[in-house]
Amino acid sequence: DAKTTQPNSMESNEEEPVHLPCNHSTISGTDYIHWYRQLPSQGPEYVIHGLTSNVNNRMASLAIAEDRKSSTLILHRATLRDAAVYYCILRGLMVRDDKIIFGKGTRLHILP
């Protein structure tokens, strides 16, 4: 299974942008890059996903490297509510064989 590598933790100041990196050097051509986050005492929640092109939604932006071996989740203006563990996950195209593998993720601390 393709794996991802993320920093264990990061800090950012409130109201500043945050760039969360993820390396996935063994990604296959049909793997989608998904990001989930887990707030304290809650289950993970979907943030964003993409295949090749950069993606934007109301929560965040996803920047994908041209060779697809890395990606960056961008929170444009962090708030205290964004303090969470962020997981970068690869998901295959074939839903039937889909197996999501969560790593340890990046724990994001937001400083007021």
Partner 1 sequence: EAGVVQSPRYKIIEKKQPVAFWCNPISGHNTLYWYRQNLGQGPELLIRYENEEAVDDSQLPKDRFSAERLKGVDSTLKIQPAELGDSAVYLCASSRGGETQYFGPGTRLLVL
Where does this chain bind partner 1 (CB under 8 A)? 41-46, 49, 85, 87, 95-96, 98-105
DSSP secondary-structure letter at 67? T
Whichever of 17 and 103 has its CB closer to partner 1, that residue is 103
> CB 99 → partner 1: shortest distance, Å?
7
> CB 97 → partner 1: shortest distance, Å?
9
Q: Tell me the pairing of strands 106-111 and 9-13.
A: parallel
Whichever of 58 and 99 has its CB closer to partner 1, that residue is 99
> CB 5 → partner 1: shortest distance, Å?
13
Whichever of 46 and 77 has its CB closer to partner 1, that residue is 46
Distance CA 1, CA 19 (A): 25
**Positions of E strands within 14-100:** 18-23, 32-38, 45-50, 55-56, 61-64, 70-75, 84-91
Amino acid at 16: E
